[in-house]
Amino acid sequence: MQASVAVIGAGYVGLTTAVCLAHMGHSVTCGDIDEKRVTQLSKGDVPIFEKGLDEMVKEGLSSGRLRFVAGASRAAKRAEYVFLCVPTPRMPSGMPDMSVISSVAREIAPVLRSRTVVVNKSTVPAGSALMVERMIGRSDVKVVSNPEFLREGTAVSDFLHPDRIVIGSDDEQSAVRVSSLFAGISAPIMITDAMTAETVKYVANAFLATKISFANSVAELCEALGVEVKDVLLGIAYDHRIGFEYLSPGPGWGGSCLPKDTRALLSFSSASGYDMELLEAAVRANEEHEAWIARKALSMLGVSDDYRKDGLVVAVCGVSFKAGTDDTRDSPALAFLTTLAEKGMSLRVFDPALRNVAGGLPEGTVVCDDPYSACSGADLLCIMTEWEEFRWMDFSKVMDVMVTPKILDARNLLDPIVIRKLGFAYEGVGRR
């Protein structure tokens, strides 16, 4: 069944949703407030670094099932389904900013067809579907929650091959109609009420953040005990109750979802009179772990935590919060760079995905075209993002261009035995 679908917002979630629904055979109009982005996308030029997205946009445009327009009302006026995929950034209180969703709901209300279903795809607090329904103010239009579970770097695959599809509505017929859009996708479909669906997204991300914080804490313990963290985590991951996902130690968790959603859930729980002490501990552990990684770097440079030493050069490979994306939001690498800059370090960085890395970097940071240029003249190389190309660098060449051959591998990407045999001083996270 081909449906007429509007997607409001051509950002990360909106663009993925639009191209995947078009790929599945629906007629999709994607609207965005940014006219420059609309023009760019209409030409098949994708401004987001995401595996498979370029090809999917071109496929949708050539088939005629996908088009881009400026403005929410223009996209929504003929649609049977309108997906809201707009930003809900974190406010200082930790609560999500709902102003964009509110603005879009009021804009599209007059142009919606009778029996249109509006679908909240954005990450929103419990009760948002009811709030949007009230803003639209039409008894012939229903609002359904359909939270996204897209991982940056694998978003297209996650949309087309999800672990589950969650649909929440207080109107069963509307929920069933939305579920029909996903016909052909082999995944469990969970239909529940809207507030439950909205809560699922936050709790899922809070659990994943807690799991990462646990793995990072285990890495610190392993380092103190002198045991190998990879073997310890492998030993527990084979237990099917635990699993392998999100048990890789690193510099901390970041990105567009986990920091925002954990803070939001803590704000919701506090407002409801319940303190989520376990989640608070996970957030605090993440902050402390980021500081611990920075202290490791300073220690390798011979700089104490309360001492500043100007003139040392640090090469940093990886600025995005994880491989496969150009997203630097709440990236542990940025916090790491800031700490080193405050200690007087000269910074040289390289990341293969970032088209414009300058924003958010400490003043004076040199952005390089390749990892070897970043390492030139460096006293320490720090690997902060797990790009595969960093694993396969020519480390003989790296050694030739560095002043002192020292590597802090914050992603445990490299083989310590091989790297040390080459003559490097090597430190990982929880490794011997």
Question: Rounded distance, CA 274 to CA 372, Å?
Answer: 51
CB 365 within 8 A of CB 336: no
Residue type, 167: I
Show Cβ contacts of residue 392 under 8 Å, excluding neighbours closer than 6 positions. none
Exactly one of 20, 30, 257, 317 is catalytic; name it.
Answer: 257
In a 10 Å sphere around its CB, with 0-12 CB exposed, 13-18 middle and 19+ buried, how is residue 215 labelled?
buried
Residue type, 108: I
In a 10 Å sphere around its CB, with 0-12 CB exposed, 13-18 middle and 19+ buried, how is residue 17 labelled?
buried
Query: Which residues sit opposite 70 in a β-bridge?
Result: 32
Question: Rounded distance, CA 339 to CA 200, Å?
Answer: 35
Q: Where are the beta strands (DSSP E) in 135-188?
A: 142-145, 165-168
CB 258 within 8 A of CB 208: yes
Question: Rounded distance, CA 264 to CA 181, Å?
Answer: 30
Question: Rounded distance, CA 332 to CA 319, Å?
Answer: 8
Question: Rounded distance, CA 70 to CA 39, Å?
Answer: 9
In the three-class reduction of DSSP (H, G, I as helix; E, B as strand; rest coil), residue 25 is classed as coil
257 is catalytic: yes
Hey, how many other C-beta atoms are within 10 angstroms of the C-beta on 4?
A: 15
In the three-class reduction of DSSP (H, G, I as helix; E, B as strand; rest coil), residue 392 is classed as coil
User: CA 370 from chain center: how many Å?
Assistant: 24
Query: Which residues are designated catalytic?
Result: 257
